[in-house]
Amino acid sequence: MRNGGSRRVSSFITQGYRTRRMAVDYAIPLVTDVKCAKLLIEALQFVGGEPKLQTSVDCISAGRVARLPGLVDIHVHMRDPGQTHKEDWSSGTSAALAGGFTVVCAMPNTEPPVVDRASLVGALEVAKAGARCDYALYCGATGTNFERVAELAPLVMGMKMYLNDTFSTLQMDDMSVWLEHMRNWPTDSPIVVHAEDKTMSAAIFAASLIPRSLHVTHVSKKSEILTIKAAKAKGIAVTCDVCPHHLFLSTEDVLKLGSKKSQVRPVLGSMDDQNALWDNMDVIDCFSTDHAPHLMEEKINNGVPGFPGLETILPLLLTAVHSGKLSLEDLLYKLHARPMEIFGLPEQPETYVEVDLDEEWTIGDRPFFTKCNWSPFSGRKVRGSVQRVVLRGRVAFVDGVVLAEKGTGVNMKDSVSPLRPRKRGVSLTVVDKFIARDVKLGKHEPLSVKLSAPGLPKEDHQHSSIDLDWKREDGVRSPQPGQGMIVSPSVSRSATPLSFTSMHHGQHKPIGFDPSLHHPLHTFCPAHEFVGQSLLSVDKLTKEQLNTIFYYANFYLSAFKHQRSIEPVLKGKLMASVFYEVSTRTNCSFSAAMQRLGGSVVSMDTVSSSVKKGESFEDSMIMMSTYADVIVLRHPQPGAAKKAASICAKPVLNAGDGTGEHPTQALLDVFTIREEIGTVNGLVITMGKLMASVFYEVSTRTNCSFSAAMQRLGGSVVSMDTVSSSVKKGESFEDSMIMMSTYADVIVLRHPQPGAAKKAASICAKPVLNAGDGTGEHPTQALLDVFTIREEIGTVNGLVITMVGDLKHGRTVHSLAKLLTLYNVQLRYVSPAGLSMPQSVIDFVKSCQVSQSVYGSLEEALPGTDVLYVTRIQKERFESELEYKKCCGKFVVTPQLMTKAKQKMIVMHPLPRLDEILTDFDTDPRAAYFRQAENGVYIRMAVLSLTLGKTSSHVGQL
């Protein structure tokens, strides 16, 4: 009631509104329009049951990045050995990676041809030395080797029989020889035939007489595909593949290409032939490229038959998907699952291809990796582009650059290869779940695509849901073996899916809703629009959202006025207060709001953080997002909050960005933070304990991670620095430390003087943890560094660890070198002149009999390195700017430099960084420095809990 006694309509909640609000917040489908309800009922009757819905997926995206399994090309010509001017294993497999292929299977028509054990051994040696992706070889059938070639079966992909004219000396015309090969070749190893028209029919008939399976490659004509269709209908074991030039080119393109340039075997078919292939897509088992590179001058002058195709087939097929001629499940089935099954190939663990489904480009505008450097499809516009290829956990190709080194490919038929075996005849699930997200905000309509493999029993296709495990690097988690494809938004940070329901004993239960609680807040559904979302600007708020915010604000205001207790819903949660400008009201009100709700606060400003050392805004924000659950940001630059939200993995609340916006109010912020974070309780181990954070030097990571660790454990923190303490009045170090030890249970000390921590421990009555003492040591950093190495690589023993940068002043490398003497490692040192590792550290390492060596350049030390530990040149340790600049820029980590490093290694940095690691390298999976810094919280939680004798009772149950 107000003044005149009437009630505001906007504050009155009707039963209908409450019902609609609950339906939205609890993700329960609700139809309020009668006409729509009738249509829905009719639709349910039409589909014959309950529709499959998944309402827990939502995303904002302007594009789609698909993560596909590694593709397999069962038909390529590498021209190596013998014709390496056309192609070799290095260039050919580079082209394969650029096209999204992680396995290529090479034909035997090389010089010499692979027809016996000696030629096979030679070809395998060449492939092993040059291949950048995984591979397998075929052996060739001749008119005389049918009695002995079968002994090669365990070592090859299969046997190739050339029954028609082609670019080869292996053609066989005698049908009696065909039969000898078909009888002698093991039935569990495929026979692949180049056979056209009537010859193909004769080959299928001959195989049926044995009987044995047969694979017909590069089918090109209507008569051929119809014959294969009829053979399959009769139960004959025949499979086939089709090439892109027969799907996308025809005799009508000969005039454009030229009579010689258009030469290929089999020749291009008519439009009637091409249409027949598309009309019988269910008959086709595989797609192959028949990658047959020839130099342009050879094509123009001699008309040699063959087209390159490794780099163009995927975008051509994706374009067909966009136009509706092909389904995405068919594409994956024919380029991954079916080839793996027919040829009995093992799985490639941790292997996938990331493709931008929507990127439009023109073939020929980008440089080719194939040596022949041309394509019959040049000038054609396509949609879909390979962005990244990861092979067995290592980035092999990214953004147009091949990172895989020569010789890193694995022979798929080698029994000692690091691959998982797969039984022949077991059907594969290629597309477990295809999650499509609408580009518009608010749409979340997942589409389940089931695999419809021609000729395979339905019981072999098992579909399992894919969890959305978001990662900052690539937006999605790596698909496990058996999982097919995930389509994700093309964003560079992790987004929190708006998941509103969880399964509980088979029924939907709202997340965060406890029926046993009779708190007034639980009378209505929480407004899911706020969950996991950053608050950057008021122009995105709707009237409905304002009403919801004010409702909760009124509740809190009433609770404070009437001195009612408030449920500590944020107990165990942490807010980062990041203020690049001074503030009293906004800063304190946010901190008060968070702590009123049972949460904790860790603070960062420009006075006492590594911003004074030159740390970038981006690095600071990323690091703070690893420590806290939500970030409150004040910055003088308009748009800073929006920029932070785009790079942080946690929600960002805009507390004012210069002359831009300041959308929050204290009570509104209370509700927003509560809705951002939820109600999950944290660990309560050091409750009632107090940590003194005493920092005589500026710091972001060490200071904030110690504070975050203490508060995560339920303890509290009191801080002291040189700016706001009596140190400015001349108080001695000893007096300050003694006083702080009377206030706290443990002291964390950072001091510029070596030995300061040891001195403090001698006079304090409480434990002292060294957070860095000048150029001395930094023991907790060393602990988290070793912990990171173990987590990233799996072991510390046997590794080569290279330390780069300011090794003289870098206390982190001093402690790390000493700690690593507990392991069997090799240490390498690379530093500018005058900044080498102190002799005392070298002597200590030597006394422990650990191998160590000094290198003059990073390029020299990088090969063979398992861990590259980079440190900044510490400007604050130099007497003059000139001396500092002499040492800068000597060793810089760039994506180009890291192409010389191992694919299975990591790059670490204690941070802050300046220019010693380019930000372009941040998206590389080997960049571990942000994960390294996040580990600091967990290490320091362990140290604090052990130091205070407050370990969790749950630890022993892990």
User: Across residues 315-322, what is the average pLDDT?
Assistant: 96
Task: Give the list of residues 6+ apart from residue 490 with CB closer than 8 angstroms, or none.
Answer: 61, 62, 63, 64, 65, 356, 475
Residue 851 vs residue 544, higher pLDDT: 851
Q: Is 742 a catalytic residue?
A: no
Is residue 171 within 8 A of residue 163, CB to CB? The reply is yes
Percent of the chain whose predicted confidence (pLDDT) is above 90: 41
Helix (H) or strand (E) holding 743: helix 733-743
pLDDT at 416 over 60: no
- What is the pLDDT, as a whole number, of residue 698? 85
The better pLDDT of the pair 798, 661 is held by 798
**Does the pLDDT value for residue 928 go beyond 70?**
yes
Q: Which of 52, 543, 562, 729 is catalytic?
A: 729
Q: Which residues pair with 718 in a beta bridge?
A: 692
Distance in angstroms (rounded) separating the CA atoms of residues 463 and 450: 7
* 674 is an active site residue: no
More confident residue, 930 or 245: 245
pLDDT at 308: 97
Average pLDDT, stretch 225-235?
Answer: 96
Strand 800-804 to 768-773 pairing: unpaired
Whole-number Å distance between alpha carbons of 576 and 590: 10
Q: What is the pLDDT of residue 559?
A: 53
Q: What is the mean pLDDT of residues 872-892?
A: 82
Residue 67 has φ and ψ, to the nearest 5°, of -105, 110
Is 778 one of the annotated active-site residues of the chain? yes
pLDDT digits (tens, 9 = 90+) for 547-576: 444 454 445 445 555 555 556 666 788 888
| Residue type, position 751, single letter | H
Tell me if residue 650 is catalytic.
no
**3-state secondary structure at position 135:** strand
Confidence tier at 632 by pLDDT (50, 70, 90)? confident
Asked whether 774 and 752 are in contact (CB, 8 A), the reply is yes
| Confidence (pLDDT) at 324 | 93
What DSSP character marks residue 467? P
Local confidence band at 716 (pLDDT 50, 70, 90 cut-offs) = confident
SS3 481: coil
pLDDT of residue 518: 31
d(CA 207, CA 183): 9
- Summarize the confidence of residues 116-138 as an average pLDDT: 96
State which fold the 66-402 domain adopts: TIM Barrel (3.20.20)
What pLDDT digit, counting tens, does each position of 736-767 carry?
899 888 888 889 998 988 888 889 988 988 88
Catalytic site residue from 548, 672, 700, 702: 702
Tell me the two tokens of residue 301. Answer: 């002058």
Across 66-81, average pLDDT: 95
Nearest C-alpha neighbor of 594 from the set 703, 676, 498: 676
Beginning with the edge strand found earlier in the chain, give each strand of the sheet holding 394-398 in spatial order.
401-402, 394-398, 381-391, 352-362, 64-69, 486-489
Please state the rounded mean pLDDT for residues 493-506: 27
Q: Active site residue: 86, 222, 778, 828, which one?
A: 778
pLDDT at 446 over 90: no
All residues at 6 or more sequence positions from 931 whose CB lies less than 8 Å from its CB, including other chains: 788, 791, 792
- Integer distance in angstroms from the first to the last C-alpha of the chain? 56
pLDDT at 376 over 50: yes
C-alpha gyration radius of the chain: 33
Residue 417: strand, helix, or coil: coil
CATH fold, domain 779-946, is: Rossmann fold (3.40.50)
CB of 784 closer than 8 Å to CB of 936: yes
- DSSP 3-state of 592: helix
pLDDT: is 7 or 173 the higher one?
173
**Where exactly does CATH 3.40.50.1370 map onto the chain?**
543-558+569-677, 690-773, 779-946
Lowest mean pLDDT among 222-226, 704-708, 878-882: 878-882
Among 167-171, 254-258, 302-306, 726-730, the range scoring the smallest mean pLDDT is 167-171
Q: Which residues pair with 692 in a beta bridge?
A: 718, 747
SS3 state at 15: helix
User: How far is residue 916's CA from residue 888's CA, in Å, rounded to a whole number?
Assistant: 8
Pick the catalytic residue from 79, 336, 643, 701: 701
Q: How far apart are CA 750 and CA 876, in angstroms?
A: 15
**Region 342-371: what's the mean pLDDT?**
93
pLDDT of residue 85: 96
Gap between the Cα atoms of 957 and 949, Å rounded? 18
DSSP annotation of 826 reads E
* Between residues 856 and 584, the one the model is more confident about: 856
Whether 750 sits among the annotated catalytic residues: the reply is: yes
- May I ask the CATH architecture of the domain 690-773? 3-Layer(aba) Sandwich (3.40)
Query: Comparing 29-38, 606-615, 640-649, which segment has the lowest mean pLDDT?
Result: 29-38
Phi, psi of 502 (to 5 degrees): -135, 155
Mean pLDDT of 233-238: 94
**Phi and psi, residue 905, nearest 5°:** -155, 175
Q: What mean pLDDT value characterizes the chain?
A: 78
Tokens representing 327 are: 């389904």
What span, in angstroms and rounded, lies between the C-alpha atoms of 502 and 532? 16
Say whether pLDDT at 172 is over 80: yes
- pLDDT, greater one: 361 or 527: 361
Start-end ranges of CATH 3.20.20.140 in the chain? 66-402
Q: Which of 89-93, 227-231, 506-510, 534-538 has the lowest mean pLDDT?
A: 506-510
pLDDT category at 645 given cuts 50, 70, 90 is confident
Asked if pLDDT for residue 493 goes beyond 50, the answer is no
pLDDT of residue 6: 44
Secondary structure percentages of the chain, helix, strand, coil, to 5: 35, 15, 45
The average pLDDT across 19-23 equals 76
Region 87-109: what's the mean pLDDT? 97
Alpha helices (H) in 137-195, listed in sequence order: 175-184
CA distances from 338 to 74, 346, 420 (A): 11, 12, 17
Q: Phi and psi at residue 789, in whole multiples of 5°?
A: -60, -45
pLDDT of 539 over the 70 cut: no
735-736-737 Cα angle (round to 5) = 95
User: Which stretch of 307-316, 669-678, 691-700, 719-728 has the lowest confidence by average pLDDT?
Assistant: 669-678
| Lowest-confidence region among 2-11, 467-476, 606-615 | 467-476
Backbone φ and ψ of 183, nearest 5°: -75, -40
In degrees rounded to 5, what are phi and psi of residue 337? Answer: -65, -50
Q: What is the CB neighbour count within 10 angstroms for residue 83? A: 18
Does residue 934 contact residue 626 with C-beta atoms inside 8 Å? yes
By DSSP bridging, strand 394-398 and strand 401-402 are antiparallel
pLDDT higher than 70, residue 674: no
pLDDT at position 487: 40
Chain centroid to CA 866: how far?
A: 21
Least confident of 55-59, 127-131, 782-786: 55-59
Instruction: Name the nearest CA neighbour of 162 among 260, 251, 75.
Output: 75
* CATH fold of the domain at 543-558+569-677: Rossmann fold (3.40.50)
Identified catalytic residue from 232, 750, 814, 902: 750
Among 91-100, 607-616, 778-787, 826-835, where is mean pLDDT lowest?
A: 778-787
Q: Where does the pLDDT of residue 667 fall: very low under 50, low under 70, confident under 90, or very high at 90 and above?
A: very low
Cα 604 to Cα 611: distance, rounded to the nearest angstrom: 10
Q: Which residue has the tokens 């990331």?
A: 354
